[in-house]
Amino acid sequence: MPSSAATIGLALQASGFVFSGEGPLRLATTEIEDDEVMLTDKLIDGDESGDPVFVTSDVKLGSPASYVATQDMIALLSVKPDNILDCHQLNVEDETWDEQPIGNTHPIICHQSSKMTSVTLASGAHVFFQSPNGILVDLQYHQDIKEWTQHSMRITAQEGSPLYATQAFSKVFLFFIGRDNCIYYVARSTDGPMSDWQSTAILPGPRFEHVPDGVLVVPENEPDAFISYILEGSQLSKIDAAGESVKVGTIDENGTFYPTSDQECTIIINIINPYINGGLFGGGGAGGRGGGGGGGGPWGGQRWYY
């Protein structure tokens, strides 16, 4: 799916995002209105911006958020003011969001600075965040039994590390910032039964002075080769597969992107997820690298890309 550097910056600036179909971007953001913090969902399609749709007011300011789209539900996870994980499910008939229990006996508590990300598989979905002790957590939604289970990954990330999950090369990858402020990742195979997480690996690139605000990682054509887009304040940078970093541009608080050069205006980035669910999101099956999935489903008949 093609996307511009400006769109990447806008996505990383939001609380949560999901790319859908051939270009539209859905953003989850928190904002203050009448002294009340609200979480909203909005569709961005090129230069067109839809009206924000109210999700909840029981949310902390600056809460991370993550969309989960499986064959039987579209959900948006966020964090309440007391750092408890919250979940709202879309009612596709009237485009409203209804609070839904995650299904655990005890509330799930996140680190006060935790970020969040997710990835969808045929078997369900994975939502990743940090626990209060900084350990990464894999919250799994099981499609067959329609239940959530929580699993500690026994991996410690930098407090407040941006998180980014994607699927490529028959693996699920989770990227995060380590204690030394470098980008690390872990992976597990999606061939057959889900395997254990592999040993932590480091991406080529600089050591950041401060923890970045956002990270988006794009698979290259070769296994375990990636391009990273990093948001630090208003600065968007690109790190290539060899670890070389260049500044792409800046994005202001209103979402306006200012490229470093005219060349950056025309950069097109292919964000590809090799497996997109059928069923609710259309019957086209896997899109594959360079391919497109099927159509159908809600929200203008677009498939969802993570």
> Could you identify the residue written with the tokens 């300011």?
61
Mean pLDDT of 242-253: 93
Helix (H) or strand (E) holding 112: none
Q: Measure the CA–CA gap between 277 and 26, rounded to whole angstroms.
A: 18
Residue recorded with tokens 């940090």: 130
Return the closest-CA partner of residue 138 out of 56, 195, 90: 195
Q: Check residues 17 and 1 and name the one with the higher pLDDT.
A: 17
Long-range pairs, 177-186, Cβ under 8 A, ≥24 = 177/208, 177/211, 177/212, 177/215, 178/202, 180/207, 181/207, 181/208, 181/209, 181/210, 181/211, 182/206, 182/207, 182/208, 183/215, 183/217, 183/228, 183/239, 184/157, 185/217, 186/153, 186/155
Q: Answer for the pair 71, 279: CB distance below 8 angstroms, yes or no.
A: yes
- Domain 2-305: which topology? Neuraminidase (2.120.10)
Tell me how far apart the alpha carbons of residues 288 and 98 are, in angstroms, rounded to a whole number: 33
Output the pLDDT for position 3: 65
Q: pLDDT category, 90, cuts 50, 70, 90?
A: very high
The pLDDT assigned to 284 comes to 22
16-20 and 25-33 strand pairing: antiparallel
The share of the chain scoring above pLDDT 70, in percent, equals: 81
- Residue 203's contacts (CB-CB under 8 Å, 6 or more residues apart) are 175, 182, 183, 184, 185, 217, 226, 228, 239, 243
Q: Residue 170's pLDDT band (boundaries 50, 70, 90)?
A: confident
pLDDT of 151 > 80? The answer is yes
* Mean pLDDT of all residues in 164-178: 94
Q: For residues 228 and 34, what is the distance between their CA atoms, to the nearest angstrom?
A: 38
How many residues in total does the chain contain? 306
Over 70: is that where the pLDDT of 193 sits? Answer: no
Can you spell out the DSSP letters for 221-243?
A: SSTT-EEEEEEETTEEEEE-TTS
pTM of the model: 0.85
Least trusted range by pLDDT, from 77-86, 107-116, 256-265, 275-284: 275-284
The secondary structure element, H or E, covering residue 153 is: strand 147-156
* Residue 291 pLDDT: 28
Any idea where the domains of the chain sit in the sequence?
A: 2-305
Q: What is the pLDDT of residues 6-50, one digit of tens each?
A: 889 999 999 999 876 556 788 999 999 888 999 999 988 877 788
Q: Which of 50-54, 155-159, 165-169 has the highest mean pLDDT?
A: 155-159
- Cβ atoms of 37 and 30 within 8 Å: the answer is yes
